[in-house]
A and B are shown apart, each in its own frame.
Chain A
Amino acid sequence: MRRLAAALLLTATPLIPAPIHAGEIWVTNEKDDTVSVIDTDTLEVIKTYPTGERPRGVTFSKDFRRLYICASDSDTVQVMDPDTGEILHDLPSGEDPEQFVLAPDDRHLYIANEDDAITTVVDTQSRQVVAQIDVGVEPEGMAISPDGKIAITTSETTNMAHWIDTATHKLFANTLVDSRPRHAEFTADGSQLWVSAEIGGTVTVFSVADQQELGKVHFAIAGVNDDLIQPVGFKFSPDGKRAFVALGPANHVAVVDTASYEVTNYILTGRRVWHMAWSPDQSQLFTTNGVSGDVTVIDVARETPVKSIKVGRFPWGAAMRP
């Protein structure tokens, strides 16, 4: 009996925790007008800096020397020195910038202006608006292809992904997705575009070559009402085999097999999980949980939550600095 119990115990033991490498996760706190900096080694908040009003989208320049912050209610994109927390200058952004994406040239920002139904292209060096492109109503999600040739804006009310030719700044395609698209990402090889739909409760996958729909990801969590399952931010794993999709008020991150579009696992997080960022070694994923005001750290190899770290009120965006 004792031997049996010991054998059962041995088979039941989970794996050894993954190694951790130091880096920082920068999280915008929508209601506090701050960014919190989390040390990926100690998993603690080490710094908090003030920002403009209602900071949401956040990203680093390629050399990690500048942090771009969408200060939505200040109607500007702020540029912060991450070493000092000092705001270096503001960039013209159009009204109510919510999300943006930095082009592979490390120079042009594509910004979704929610209230104006436009996408603004800003040159971060000359600090000038290069173009403003009319898109659907309430644009939000922004993505850019790895080769920098295609930019995507998703519009919440029009329920479309708008395909922008970055050379001409003209729309060349519009594809319907389910209700209230929130976030878009290209796969690393640039062959697919994934778009999440918050109210529709799905993620639609498109072929980039012909903008045709390849499939849809559906979600279902035991004990959670379907209307609470609202896919928002997502990230692909480094090997491209899995996608981690934040499900908003369902308080879970879904793990999706990118080949079959099937969900393989659900990971419990804090309340209203929104966006996420990888740790430098990509062994951990940090999710922002708006309502519970914390960031859940996920062990990617084991697909389990490790810790939830209190940050400011309503954490929204996240970006990594090694």
Chain B
Amino acid sequence: MIWWLAFRAILHREALRFLGQRGRLVAALVRPLVWLLVFAAGFRAALGLSIIPPYQTYITYEIYITPGLCGMICLFNGMQSSLSLVYDREMGSMRLLLTAPLPRWWLLLAKVTAGAMISLLQCAAFLAIAAGVGIHMPWQGYIVAIPAILLAGLMLGALGLMLSSFIRQLENFAGVMNFVIFPMFFLSSALYPLWKMKEASPLLAQICAVNPFTHAVELIRFALYLQPNLAAAGWVLLALMVFGAAALWGYDPARGMQARKGS
């Protein structure tokens, strides 16, 4: 019972924080919408023509990047959660959270789940606006995509959690932007299909193929078109376990980075 209470409390706190920061919702939506409505319009003709799964016919570039932009929302939100943890540490509220009489993994899981739920809400709002400007998916796809977006959100949240155990100060967040978010986003299938990347450089295509963010995007993309992608799901699950284990290690007071840093 107390486990559930803690879970709900963490979820509630994240929801309050999210609702309290109206600017964050606006920013979370404006970012992918700028990509969708400005960037995609400019690159409409540049993609070239090729039908790749899960698509069964020719698509516009806007349709191609929509699942990638859902991934982008999860990625930024995961990183934002890690930023909030660094903030919590500086403010001292993390000490309170981590001293709760519950296993640490449960508290961290609650934190990551809360972040994934917020990612899901943001993706829903984004997809609704996209549909409003004529970018439709099969309607069942919106439902099937829910677990895919949640899984992607959990994996990227776990990545954020892992990173937050390494970052001591808010100022270092710029480094996360430069060394994590941008490479993960650009070296993925979010903006261009892998075959297009292969034309530019086979090495880049291989890097994209092992990037867990690529698989998160493909998982969402296939789910939106009602097709299973077990390979992508497997990759995302594996990445979730690796990042989750690393975060647990990082937050373990006896062994992790926290101990070494003396916090």
Q: List residues of A whose CB falls within 8 A of some B CB.
A: 1-2, 4-6, 8-9, 11-17, 222-224, 251, 268-271, 292, 296-297, 304-308
Number of A-B contacts (CB under 8 A): 71
**Contact, CB under 8 Å: A305 / B142:** no
List chain B residues, Cβ under 8 A from A269. Answer: 57-58
| Bound-complex Cα distance A17 to B226 (A) | 14
Contact string, B125-136, partner A, CB cutoff 8 A, digits 1/0?
101111110001
List chain A residues, Cβ under 8 A from B131. Answer: 11-14
| Bound-complex Cα distance A15 to B139 (A) | 8
Give the top 4 A-B pairs by smallest Cβ distance, nearest first. Answer: A12-B131, A8-B128, A13-B139, A5-B124
CB-CB nearest in chain B for A294: B51
Which of A4, A223, A224, A296 has the most chain B CB atoms closer than 10 A to its own CB?
A223
| Bound-complex Cα distance A1 to B51 (A) | 37
| Bound-complex Cα distance A305 to B51 (A) | 13
**Contact, CB under 8 Å: A268 / B56:** no
**Contact, CB under 8 Å: A292 / B125:** no
**Contact, CB under 8 Å: B121 / A5:** yes
Listed by A's residue number, 6 A-B pairs whose Cβ atoms lie within 8 Å are A1-B19, A12-B127, A12-B130, A13-B131, A14-B137, A271-B49
**Contact, CB under 8 Å: A306 / B127:** no
Which of B44, B58, B139 has the most chain A CB atoms closer than 10 A to its own CB?
B58
List chain B residues, Cβ under 8 A from A12. Answer: 127-128, 130-132, 136, 142
List chain A residues, Cβ under 8 A from B44. Answer: 222-223
Known: A307-B57, A308-B56. A292 touches B127 (CB 8 A): no
State the Cβ distance, B58 to closest chain A Cβ, in Å. Answer: 5
| Bound-complex Cα distance A305 to B44 (A) | 17
**Contact, CB under 8 Å: B56 / A306:** yes
List chain B residues, Cβ under 8 A from A8. Answer: 124-125, 128-129
State the Cβ distance, B159 to closest chain A Cβ, in Å. Answer: 24
20 further A-B pairs in the complex, CB-CB below 8 A; given A8-B128, A222-B41: A1-B121, A5-B124, A8-B124, A9-B127, A9-B142, A13-B131, A13-B142, A14-B138, A14-B139, A251-B58, A268-B57, A269-B58, A270-B49, A292-B58, A296-B57, A304-B136, A306-B56, A307-B57, A308-B51, A308-B56
List chain B residues, Cβ under 8 A from A304. Answer: 136
Contact string, B24-43, partner A, CB cutoff 8 A, digits 1/0?
00000000000000000100
List chain A residues, Cβ under 8 A from B56. Answer: 306-308
State the Cβ distance, B79 to closest chain A Cβ, in Å. Answer: 21
List chain B residues, Cβ under 8 A from A16. Answer: 139
B60 within 8 A of A: yes
List chain A residues, Cβ under 8 A from B57. Answer: 268-270, 296-297, 305-308
| Bound-complex Cα distance A268 to B47 (A) | 14
